Structure 1
Amino acid sequence: MKKNTNSFLKKISSRYFLVKIAIFLLVISSVHSCKRENRIPYKEKDYTTEITKFIDSGDVFFDTNKRDSAFYYFNKALSLTEPTKKPDEYVYSLACMAEMLQLEGDYIKSEYLLTKTMPYLNKTTRPRYKWYVYTVMAKNYHNTYDLKNAVLYHKMALKHTLSILKKNQTLSNIAGVYTDQEKYDEAIKIYLPLVQKNYVDKNNLDFSKRNHAIELNNLGYCYYRTNNPKALQCFNESLKINLQIKDQEGVMFNHRFISLYYLKNNPILATQHAKLAYEISRKDKFPTKSISFLSVLVKCSTGSDLKKYVLEYIHLTDSIKEVRLKAKNQFAQIKYNSKLDKAENLQLKTLQAENELQLERQKNRNIISYIIIFCILVLISFLFFHFRIKGKREKNEAIYNSEIRISEKLKKELSNTIYDTISFAKIEDLEKTENKEQLLNNLEVVYSRTRNISKENSPILTDENYVVVLKEMISGFKTPNVNILLNGLDTIAWNDVDKNKKIILYRVIQELFANMKAHSEATLASITFKINNKILSVNYSDNGVGITKNTFILKNGLQNVESRIKTINGTINFGTYSPSGFKLSFTFSI
């Protein structure tokens, strides 16, 4: 029972400790957030903090497809970056800006920015930046039909990554260049192993499925160009995956390639799939892709439909040119403003940028706070269930140990008595009245001791019958030679006392009287209960042999008493040392 009680208290303490940890971390997070809010961002010579903030903001806008804002913040970071001191930030900012220009179709300016990174590539501490620069450069060459250099730079990128995911992306890019070179067999040699291996990133299953669908689609196109009937199967498998993960861009390309597949032999199906691809491109705003789908519809259509698609093709082409021109002008204006900024006071620029970043920083801090809170809740949940399972295991162990202890106690206390009783029954003549009575007395002793052991280890009621159970336990220690005085027990409002403290109080009193019975040779014992300001005090005394200062050594029972009282944050006093009589008192809050 002691082990059960201690285990329970440890679990309660552990759970309160977890709550304290959570509150502490939340407070620290809030304080840290406030400190970040209030600190002065400007540093006279070291702009590391500002550069990092600009790059972080640029990443956020880039990831949410707000490329004009992203370009602005990367350009801000670039204006504060000394390439010889911070090559990582310099190369990364330029590479991101170059990729954005590439996405807007400005391949010449994109390549120009990438060439500015070349003197510092070997100084970067992050190999993935080299992979990034070479990949963007290769795509520039690919888009400008310099396919030889595209393959060259993709192969250079391949040497600067250990990531399986990035290697597979680069291999797929190389196969894409081979496809445009009409080297379909070489492309198939790359696509086929990628499709068969189907590398899965466990941290991003949808991304892995999307890559697999792209590789299947591209493999299908190579099969289509080599008149391999497996092409349609690849297209359909890719379409199935994209529909499953709801990748509309992927579905759009699937319909485009299926349309090409049916273009010669089944114009009706080709038109249907081209229309599906065109509708997705219009709905999800892929204007450059819409042009290629319109070209297929023009080939498949006649009459009024042909005129309709031709007019849409012309209108869309003009719109794309206008949008790209605006984007180029916008980026040019940003770069022009950046040159003006360099002539201004850097401190003023930084403070102004801090104000512009304030709203986005607050959003980012909120997101980080939510993530921290979520992680804390997950940690608490994990530890809660961990301790819960551990508690069940300890409870089972306690039950097992209790059974062993009871068994050993029965063996220790009853084995000799039972042996003597059996021997008596075998040797003596039980027909004699005095022998028969002696046998019955011996059996009564065995029964009485067994019952007492059972009571000591039985569950304790803590409801309204607690006082009755406590009195019954105390009265069990009364004998014709031992008298027990009980004072104040009925004056306590036991319903206000904590359940676990009732159990501990019961066991403590049980240990005291058991110790008295075993060691003190007392004929009179007294126990008094008092309560004052929600502090329960218990005073015990007997007229036994007592203890002296030189001979006082805690017996097992008294050690148990002391340890139990400490588990409920109580205090215990063993009274004065005296050879005649023993006194003990303890208190604890209810």
Structure 2
Amino acid sequence: MKLLPVTSFFLFTILLLVLSACESVVKHKEIRNPEITNLKNKIADLRNRGVYDSAIVCQGKALEIAVRLKDSSYVQYGYFMQYQNYKKVGNKDFTAKYLQKWYDMSEMRNDTLWMASAKQIQGTILYNNEEYEEAFEKYSTSKKLYLEINDTINAGKLLLNIANLQKKIGNLGASQLSALDGLQYLESTNNLKSLSGLYYALAVASKETGRLKIAEQRLNQALAMAKDSASRSKIGILNIRKFKNTKANIFKELEQYDKAIIIYEELLVDEKNDTLETKRVNANLAHTLFLKNGFNKKSDSLLQNALSYFFSIKKTSALFSVQLKLAQLYSEINESKSLKYAIEALKNAKKTGNPTSVFEALEVKIHIKHEDGDFTNYVKIRKQIEVNKENLSYLYANERFDLDTSEKKRIASDKAKIISDKNAAQARNQNLILLLILLILLVVTFFIYQKIKRRHKVEKIKTAQATEVRIATKVHDELANDIHNLMSRLETSDPDKDNVLDKLDIIYNNARDISKQNSSVETGKNFPEELSNLFRSYQSEEVNVILKKYDIDIWKGISSHIKITIYRVLQELLTNTKKHSNAALVMVSVEKKNKELFIQYTDNGKGFDEEISKNGLQNAENRIHAIKGKLTFDTELHNGCKFNINVPV
């Protein structure tokens, strides 16, 4: 009787194996069904010859047989092929129909990879139709499905699509966040096309928000990936040209017109090559020449040439762009001609169905000459753009913070593996470390004692520095709360775009200031200049920082930890002055007298109460005491502050 459970389990296992084998045989027979096999071969031949109408008929017959045989695997494949066939003949309705059937069958068969692929394609179709909200939902679903099967490469590619979509409707902050998320998935891969595309998306978002230097930096990162012919082939020549064209546009906005012109002309080596991209570059070159020299015949000729080409290929969006540039070109010399081009640009903008293009055309037209109803339409379009942004921002906020279960499990699994590996490494090296410590204690006891004594001296400085880092971390966490509050506000209200961008700019500058305050300090031969730069960095229209006495030779022979301490204390005093004192003048003198550094710091701010100062200056006092120095101060409320620092050297 004791053997019964084991025997039953054994028999159950055998039964499962038999059933599995039978199922495999059935599947094998289904795939080898002669009618389906013959039709598959015929369909492949028809597709190779481009006879897609006949391929559709044959595929329909194959699907009927597969449904009759209950061959779900081939039904799924057949729906995919029928989607491909209808796509080739340009039948959008049946393309969408079979694309959805493909997804539904994939879902029924729990085929996550094909479900993700179908959703991705649906998103792309909607994106091309400028149905951005629906496209975002499809892309988001596809990304989650890819992550369920740990396909981080395709998830990264989806985030590039999402970033481009958000950039398209002007939601630049969200676009940057999506691109950064995508980089996390792809930065350790060799997927150069998507990686460079993500850096390009960051560059464009930075450019459109006025951070042109950062945009240039991101473009350089994208272009740096095209280091050889193999990498250029992976990224794509057209993409590289697009990156360079955008870099020239950045130089144009920086008013570095000569640099922009050089890049445009490099892109136009083959002037006889009448391609869409070549004409776009010509138009950009013409606009740059206009900005540099005013109206000129070359700009007019290039734009007229591009206009004729775009008319011939009926490229509405490109016509709109060129007509807008022509309206600007003639704005100062021929108002009627300028107005004509502006009106034509507005008509083409309306044809594209892009509210942003209509908004830009109305803006140019109103600047030249406005008519009744222009301002009303202008305000209406602007509101429509803002509503589109808000709707997509709401969707993005929910998608970004709705971390699915599979992602949580993956993160937890990775974390557990890291901890396990770390513990194993510690266990392997523990005995060796102990033996080395004992050997060092036996052989160099005296030197260890001296080292510990010196270490205690430096430890106080490190403790102060560690305190500063913790404070910086805490402030950074608070900045994260600011960002969360701002995003919550975006979800529940109709914010003003400029106000939102201002808030983001404030948050960004605060984070940058915190980072700067905790960056490393150069303590070598360039330390005098480093200290001078510190004073200059706090100089502004509101505060005048004067370095009264300062001999750069006094730092020779002074140890690094003393230099760092002096630098950090002065940095803290300057920061407090900037944030709290409302001072208009700061005077600093740095001298060396009788093997002692003497630093005097004075401001004409509002001063402070001495009880408050004991807490506020505790960190600075600890730093100075750690190097056996002395910090004294003299202050009264509303009468400024005076600090004296003495340090033996």
TM-score by length of 1: 0.48
Greater RCO (Cα-Cα under 8 Å, separation 6 or more): 1
- Computing the radius of gyration from Cα coordinates, the structure with the larger value is 1
TM-score by length of 2: 0.44
